[in-house]
Chain A
Amino acid sequence: MGRSDKLFEVKEVALGLGWYAAGIGFLFVLGLLLSGVVKH
């Protein structure tokens, strides 16, 4: 495969991983808040 049709760019992959971390963090905090609502 030539350079022009590379499957991934390093910078884009790093940004993508950041989005994942944010997404999982969001889900986690939302879950924690929900459990607090139910508990009290």
Chain B
Amino acid sequence: MSVLRKVSWHQLQGIFYYVGRIITWVSVMMVFPLLVSLGYREWNIAVDFVLSISVGLSLGLALQLMPKPKGQLSWLEGMTIASLSWIFMVLVSALPFWLSGFYLSYLDAIFDAMSGYTTTGLTLVTDLDHLPYGVNMWRQLICFLGGQGVVVLVLTFFLKNAPGSFKLYVGEAKSDKILPNVVHTARAIWYIGLMFLAIGTVSLGAVAFLEGMRPDRALLHGLWIFLAGWSGAGYTPQSQSILYYHSTVFELLSLAFMLLGSVNFALHYAVLTKKRRELWQNIETKAYVISIMTLLMLLYLGLNRLGVYSTTFALFRKGFFQLISAHTGTGYATVYSADFAFRWGALPVFTLILAMLFGGMTGSTAGGLKMLRVGIVGKGVIQDVKRLFYPESAVVVTKFHFYSDMVLNDQHVRSALMIIILYILTFAVGTGVGAMYGYPLTDAAFESASAVGNVGLSAGITSAAMPVGMKITYILIMYLARLEFLSVFALIAIIIAGVTRKARRVF
């Protein structure tokens, strides 16, 4: 029996019921920026939020008029709910951006909402340095929601005993079950996020205050930089990014939170609950440290050859920060965009492109290929090379540790390679579209890697003046990459099945 034939009108209603539930709670989240705008007497912005909340709630509640599904959700339904929810929540969340008047069009507002939720950080806002507090709050908050997982949030607090909820969780590209119960897993993820949120906001806020900021602004900046740093989004309230703060300590702290945000939640849970050995036994940690150190060497060689920075410390301060920002998929910068295009040269830029494509760990807020996949493919290559040196009859067994000891098999390598190939194809399409619009190939590749890796570093291409075709391409790339393709394919399959009867038979 085919999978797609099972999707009946009744099941579609169930899918829309859950989407409605998620949209409702996303709309409720707008209360936070609404309160901030009221606190700062930004009345127009407050009205924008009230309007957006009304639209979101109306849509969400209307969808919940559909009957709630009674049985278990199928994999296809779970994944479709996740991918469809992401589309709707982006459309709703873009409303206050658009109404604020800081975006040239609704498409630009959608771009920023998608960029925020997918924790990318590329932006089309027209006057970032004068953005109202309320709008800034919403921009930074959606990064946190997207990084933690909106579906995970709804599972944790607002949807008790949803049958088949694990499928929703996987649909949002979070696959490691930290605890046997998925609701407990989601709760653990949120507790970890909220604990670091408290530490991050207080520490960054304190440094900003000591650097001379007004207490309320310092606290908000601390909160915002944490929200987008931990999530690997890289949105900042100022166009100069982290450079704005002129503080080495602030840079160091944001660097630490970027790294911590790119760590798998399951690994966080292990480290915070007596299983600290996991930190150095885990294949992802090993692959991550090896990758960071190797790329760091390449980066330094390139920067040193061109003599971009005069002292070792300056070279390290700029190089290390930008590399970690790229590798964790954050996109915070302590150099100007123009530096990548005109000062850094080909080797450092190529190194950053690699870092952006590699990304952070699976099950974290980071994007990219993920270090587990890179590590598994690396182990697979080593295994094949070993086979060349052993007699043909010898059985070569390769082990790795990922929360338990595992024996590498072809299925592991195949799954990892499938996603890697999809990422590379998407990266190539993004680069091709950029080049087609007349941008230099290196810049187009840099920007495409930034979008596909959900990073947000820019070589200067992304701006409100960018062609519409490129805006749409990047929106699709960010969406596909964040949900790791599969859930989006599920949605497309359902649409195809709905449109053509023939497709139902084929599938």
A binds B: yes
Contact status of A34 and B300, CB under 8 A, knowing A7-B188, A27-B289, A27-B292: yes
Contact, CB under 8 Å: B293 / A30: yes
- List residues of chain A with CB within 8 A of the CB of B313: 32
Shortest Cβ distance from B424 into chain A, in angstroms? 28
- List residues of chain A with CB within 8 A of the CB of B289: 27
Contact, CB under 8 Å: A34 / B274: no
Contact, CB under 8 Å: B315 / A20: no
Per the 8 Å Cβ criterion, residues 265-306 of B in contact with A are 268, 271-274, 276, 279, 289, 292-293, 296-297, 300-301, 304
Residue among A17, A20, A24, A30 having the largest count of chain B Cβ atoms under 10 Å: A20
A-B pairs with beta carbons under 8 A, tally? 71
- List residues of chain A with CB within 8 A of the CB of B360: none
B246 interface residue, CB < 8 Å from A? no
User: With A and B bound together, what is the CA distance between A18 and B402 in angstroms?
Assistant: 22
Per the 8 Å Cβ criterion, residues 1-40 of A in contact with B are 1, 7-9, 12-13, 15-17, 19-21, 23-24, 27-28, 30-32, 34-36, 38-40
Contact, CB under 8 Å: B297 / A19: no
**Residue in A7, A8, A35, A39 whose CB lies within 8 Å of B320:** A35
User: With A and B bound together, what is the CA distance between A27 and B252 in angstroms?
Assistant: 12
User: With A and B bound together, what is the CA distance between A20 and B401 in angstroms?
Assistant: 20
Contact, CB under 8 Å: A34 / B297: yes
Contact, CB under 8 Å: B259 / A24: yes
Shortest Cβ distance from B160 into chain A, in angstroms? 13
User: With A and B bound together, what is the CA distance between A32 and B289 in angstroms?
Assistant: 14
Contact status of A24 and B256, CB under 8 A, knowing A31-B316, A35-B300, A39-B300: yes
Residue in B closest to A1 when the chains form the complex, CB atoms: B184
Contact, CB under 8 Å: B272 / A16: yes
User: With A and B bound together, what is the CA distance between A15 and B274 in angstroms?
Assistant: 9
- List residues of chain A with CB within 8 A of the CB of B255: 24
Contact, CB under 8 Å: B304 / A38: yes
- Interface size of B as a range: 20 to 34
Contact, CB under 8 Å: B312 / A39: yes
B260 interface residue, CB < 8 Å from A? yes
- List residues of chain A with CB within 8 A of the CB of B504: none
B32 interface residue, CB < 8 Å from A? no
- List residues of chain B with CB within 8 A of the CB of A17: 199, 272
Contact, CB under 8 Å: B272 / A39: no
Shortest Cβ distance from B487 into chain A, in angstroms? 27
**Residue in B184, B276, B279, B315 whose CB lies within 8 Å of A39:** B315
User: With A and B bound together, what is the CA distance between A25 and B38 in angstroms?
Assistant: 41
Contact status of A38 and B301, CB under 8 A, knowing A19-B276, A31-B296: yes
Residue in B closest to A24 when the chains form the complex, CB atoms: B256
Shortest Cβ distance from A20 into chain B, in angstroms? 6
B171 interface residue, CB < 8 Å from A? no
- List residues of chain B with CB within 8 A of the CB of A7: 179, 184, 187-188, 191
User: With A and B bound together, what is the CA distance between A17 and B191 in angstroms?
Assistant: 14
Residue in B closest to A7 when the chains form the complex, CB atoms: B188
Shortest Cβ distance from B26 into chain A, in angstroms? 25
**Residue in B259, B273, B296 whose CB lies within 8 Å of A8:** B273
User: With A and B bound together, what is the CA distance between A19 and B276 in angstroms?
Assistant: 8
Contact, CB under 8 Å: B272 / A8: yes
**Residue in B184, B272, B315 whose CB lies within 8 Å of A12:** B272
B329 interface residue, CB < 8 Å from A? no
B434 interface residue, CB < 8 Å from A? no
**Residue in A1, A16, A39 whose CB lies within 8 Å of B304:** A39
Residue in B closest to A32 when the chains form the complex, CB atoms: B316
- List residues of chain B with CB within 8 A of the CB of A15: 276
B33 interface residue, CB < 8 Å from A? no
- List residues of chain A with CB within 8 A of the CB of B191: 7-8
Contact, CB under 8 Å: B273 / A12: yes
User: With A and B bound together, what is the CA distance between A31 and B199 in angstroms?
Assistant: 25
Contact, CB under 8 Å: B312 / A36: yes
User: With A and B bound together, what is the CA distance between A7 and B279 in angstroms?
Assistant: 19
Shortest Cβ distance from B250 into chain A, in angstroms? 15
Binding site for A on B (CB under 8 A): 179, 184, 187-188, 191, 195, 199, 252, 255-256, 259-260, 268, 271-274, 276, 279, 289, 292-293, 296-297, 300-301, 304, 312-313, 315-316, 319-320
The 5 listed contacts between A and B (C-beta, < 8 Å) are A12-B272, A15-B276, A24-B255, A31-B292, A34-B300
The list of the 7 closest CB pairs from A to B, nearest first, reads A35-B316, A38-B300, A16-B272, A39-B312, A16-B271, A13-B272, A31-B320
Other A-B contacts than A12-B274, A16-B271, 4 sampled, CB-CB below 8 A, are: A8-B273, A16-B276, A38-B297, A38-B301
